[in-house]
Amino acid sequence: MKVLITGGSGLIGKVLTQFLKDAGHDVAILTRKVNPKLKVKQYQWDPRVHEIDSEALFNVDCIIHLAGANIAEKRWTKKRWEEMYSSRVASAEFLFEKVKEDQIPLKSFISSSAIGWYGADTSEQVFTEEAACADDILGDLSLAWEAAADSFSDIGCSVSKVRTGIVLTNGGGALPKMMKPILFGMGSPIGSGMQYMPWIHMDDLCAIYKQLLEQKLPAGVYNGVSPEHVTNKDLTRLLAKVLQRPLWLPNVPSFVLSLIFGKMAVILLNGSRVSADKLIEKGFQFKYPKTLAALEDVLNK
């Protein structure tokens, strides 16, 4: 199939692009700046000013929408929040208008989403895809993000959304940040340590997108998380075990993280217990369902 990926030069996008190319798909990416080091067809776009290469959408079967400013990269100022919103929501709305205007016979639109849909719940409740969207800042972003994706159903296109947890990969993201203090002998759980941290191995995440693209998974919304529920304390302990480093410091107090990160601390101090049951029921087989095996694979690479 001919696939166009937004955010194709990002952490997930680069791996997914190669993953789909290896599977025989014709893959191109949308990027604001062409990178000659990337071995993939690239089209320029800038959704902020409604510009896109006129050839980018020609004969495309599927758009995979991964574009989005990193939620955990900077403090949540008003300007940063507007950037996170527009890079996800406004960009999808712009794509929809272009696909509709150019009458592109798009077969499917697959969008990244976030477990932020479920909010910062600290209870033992297990959240399935049917759970209502949380009434908080991350829930509002997720709701608008998914609504922009759903608009593609108005033109007869199948729509899927993958609510993604922490992606375990050695290429960047959250894992290297978690590793650093442990490697220097300063690792410890944060806050209560009892907040859940839904995660997924990069290989499994790419496989979900591939199966949605190839219709081996029916279109719909899925939690892109592993079946094993782990808390921040569990994940920190397992990471220290794989790195062969001790944990001896007390938990990092919540107020310290709030001082450092401001409102963004909520994604560190709170976390929902998110279910992968729907994926399993639809026949998806996880390559890395267990945390320890996933960490060993990523770190050994």
Residue 220: CATH number of its domain = 3.40.50.720
Q: Is the pLDDT of residue 157 over 60?
A: yes
Give residue 267's pLDDT band: very low, low, confident or very high (50, 70, 90): low
Q: Are 234 and 273 in contact (CB under 8 A)?
A: no
Give pLDDT, residue 142: 94
Burial class for 288, CB neighbours closer than 10 Å (0-12, 13-18, 19+)? buried
Q: Into how many domains does the chain fold?
A: 1
Give residue 301's pLDDT band: very low, low, confident or very high (50, 70, 90): confident
- In-domain check, residue 246: no
Task: Give the pTM.
Answer: 0.93
Q: What angle do CA 154, 158, 164 make, to 5 degrees?
A: 115
DSSP letter for 86, please. I
Give residue 254's pLDDT band: very low, low, confident or very high (50, 70, 90): low
The torsion angles phi and psi of 207, rounded to 5 degrees, stand at -65, -35
Of the candidates 47, 161, 31, which has an alpha carbon nearest to the alpha carbon of residue 96?
47
Instruction: Average the pLDDT over each of 75-79, 127-131, 191-195, 281-285 and give the range with the smallest value.
Output: 75-79
Q: Write out the residue range of the structural domain in which residue 76 sits.
A: 2-165+201-225+273-286
- In-domain check, residue 106: yes
Q: Which residue has the higher pLDDT, 220 or 191?
A: 220
- In-domain check, residue 138: yes
- The mean pLDDT value for 246-261 works out to 68
Give pLDDT, residue 268: 62
Q: 137-150 vs 78-85: helix axis angle to the nearest 10? A: 30
- In-domain check, residue 216: yes
Q: Is the pLDDT of residue 151 over 90?
A: yes
CA distance 170 to 156: 38
Q: Which helix (H) or strand (E) holds 129?
A: none
- In-domain check, residue 247: no
Q: Are 224 and 162 in contact (CB under 8 A)?
A: yes
Give pLDDT, residue 69: 78
Give pLDDT, residue 188: 83
Q: Are 237 and 178 in contact (CB under 8 A)?
A: no
Give residue 36's pLDDT band: very low, low, confident or very high (50, 70, 90): confident
- The mean pLDDT value for 194-220 works out to 96
> Which amino acid type is present at position 54?
S
Give pLDDT, residue 82: 85
Give residue 248's pLDDT band: very low, low, confident or very high (50, 70, 90): confident
Q: Are 200 and 167 in contact (CB under 8 A)?
A: yes
Average pLDDT over the chain, rounded to whole? 90
pLDDT tens digits for range 47-103: 999 999 989 999 999 999 999 877 766 666 788 878 888 889 999 999 999 999 999
Angstrom CA distances, 55 to 10, 110, 161, stand at: 22, 20, 26
Residues 6 or more apart from 54 whose CB is under 8 A from it? Answer: none
DSSP letters, 136-203, are SHHHHHHHHHHHHHHGGGGGT-EEEEEEE-EEE-TTSSHHHHHHHHHHTT----BTTS-SB--EEEHH
CA distance 212 to 219: 6
CA distance 63 to 53: 15
Instruction: Average the pLDDT over each of 22-31, 149-158, 167-176, 203-212 and give the range with the smallest value.
Output: 167-176
- In-domain check, residue 298: no
Give pLDDT, residue 14: 94
**Long-range pairs for 13-17 at CB < 8 Å and ≥24 separation?**
13/66, 14/38, 14/171, 15/169, 15/171, 15/202, 15/206, 16/64, 16/66, 16/205, 16/206, 16/209
Instruction: Average the pLDDT over each of 15-19, 78-82, 98-102, 113-117 and give the range with the smallest value.
Output: 78-82
Of the candidates 287, 270, 282, which has an alpha carbon nearest to the alpha carbon of residue 198?
270
Instruction: Average the pLDDT over each of 21-25, 174-178, 255-259 and give the range with the smallest value.
Output: 255-259
Q: Which residue has the higher pLDDT, 193 or 254?
A: 193
CA distance 122 to 232: 12
Angstrom CA distances, 153 to 71, 204, 216, stand at: 27, 26, 19
> Which amino acid type is present at position 211?
Q
Give pLDDT, residue 195: 87
- In-domain check, residue 300: no
- In-domain check, residue 27: yes
Give pLDDT, residue 43: 96
Instruction: Average the pLDDT over each of 2-11, 57-66, 174-183, 209-218 and give the range with the smallest value.
Output: 174-183
